[in-house]
Structure 1
Amino acid sequence: MAAPFAFFTVIATLLIVGSFAFTTLKVDKELQFTYSGALGPDRWANLNPNFSLCANGKSQSPINIVTDQAVLNKNLQPLIRQYHAVNVTLVNYKFTVAIEYPDHTGGITVDEKQYVLKQMHWHSPSEHRIDGKRYAAELHMVHVADDGKVLVVATLFKYGHTDPILGKIENKLNELGYEVKGQEAGPIAVGTFHPTELRETPRKYYRYVGSFSAPPCTENVIYLVLAKVRSISREQVEALKAPLDMRCKNNARPCQPINRRHVEVHEGN
């Protein structure tokens, strides 16, 4: 996986996704990439030799999913998720807010391979688009197999009623934002976390092979983008943005060329 970068400091074993750097690191005070300005997406590849795929990769994420070009694959299986009630931690990585999971969380099986849920984080506005439409926010649930292969389940959100998943951590999220204002940014223990919404079996989803959507932009990541769009309130989006660096408030990478890749679709009964 990615080598340590200058903006990280080595600590105990920790999975950091969002930048999608899987290593034993924590965020230092200075970000090496942002979502605007001199360190923005159009310059990522020039910021570090390890980021070259951000410009040269042919299977990059996110993408615009054109629904009438998606290929129906009857061999795709229903996405059955089995997560356990576990104690989780809320972390501010300055470019995204994330929930970190312990090893015994559970996960999903895809192509007869088990992927364990390691982390989930948010982007606002959404990174993926459906038929050119960008949504208010996007949740990435990052799963990792024993061989290191990564699978991301992505959920899109439109503005509307409050999201019950974020509702369960609302107080902690506000606390994280408050700590940033007070120059504190340590992880916050959330306690037992087991939302039923994360265990629903979606009727329809899109699948394609892409990349980490932030540096180092590593490829060969499986994306499962759920077709069902959930709702999120404007207040919740603002709470997700509040702890972030000013240059990362809109932490969505622009859509990337599809480059002859096929997007498959699973449609349940």
Structure 2
Amino acid sequence: MNLRNKILIKQIERLAPDQNLSEWEPLFHAVDRVYEQLHTEVRLLEEIANKMVDDMTDANKNLERINESLDGFNYHVSHDLKSRFMNTQSLVMILKKYVNQPGQEDKVNEICEKLEWNSEKAIETVNEFLEISRLEYENEEKRIEICDIAECITNQVESINGLLYKHIQLDLDAFDKIHFDKTSLNSVLRNILTNAIKYKKEDEEPRIEIKTSFNFDHPMIIIRDHGIGLDTEILGDELFKPFNRFKNSKFIEGNGVGLFLIRKTMESGGGSVSIYGKENEGVTLSLKFKKDAVR
């Protein structure tokens, strides 16, 4: 008999000494059941409350991280756009000087091309910032569908430079379709192919090898270029931080967010990415997907 019932019996004996205690046994059992039920519910409420506190703490930490990231993004984007707008302003002033002068058509066309290029780069910067913001705040469920890898590659090649396709070697023998969010896969492939063109060796055509394989039952898409490369063992995780530019790429146009976007996009779909490379030997990116991505 537990202590609670012993106390209850003593109270009954004191207040009603002539009572037959055996008649009170159903009440004792009922009290036990109610107590156990209340105890269980209180314990459950404590667990729920603790989880809510933990979730709120994690959410606050995540918001702090997002705010810190976006503060950095805001600075870099503002700096980049300010530079481009100042450059645009200078070009417009030069254009005004030549636009009405006879025989200056070539000069005017040259300035207009520079203005167009500058505008495209400003739009590219804004789009990259919007993509980063979307990935940071994204909480919507991914739309998983069957993605034809060759088709996705072809679509991205055509959007970047249709002539690039002849420089790509495909090996999709392991698998040629994967269950993934198609928008995310296209974004990853576009960033990788764009980098392969951007960081090709001077006076050489880009060479890109794309193959599928499995690693401990995880489907992998492995993409290798033969460009200027970089030493991944030295740079480590710095490679995936946004706006980082490295010594062999400082004079190549870009904002340094490509690898960051690739990692964020893969992780948001339950996958991951690793990179290996050496200077002058190109870079290999390995996209790792969930085991059930190939069925």
Whether TM exceeds 0.5 here: the answer is no
Whose strand proportion is higher, 1 or 2? 1
Whose helix proportion is higher, 1 or 2? 2
TM-score w.r.t. the length of structure 2 is 0.23
Larger radius of gyration: 2
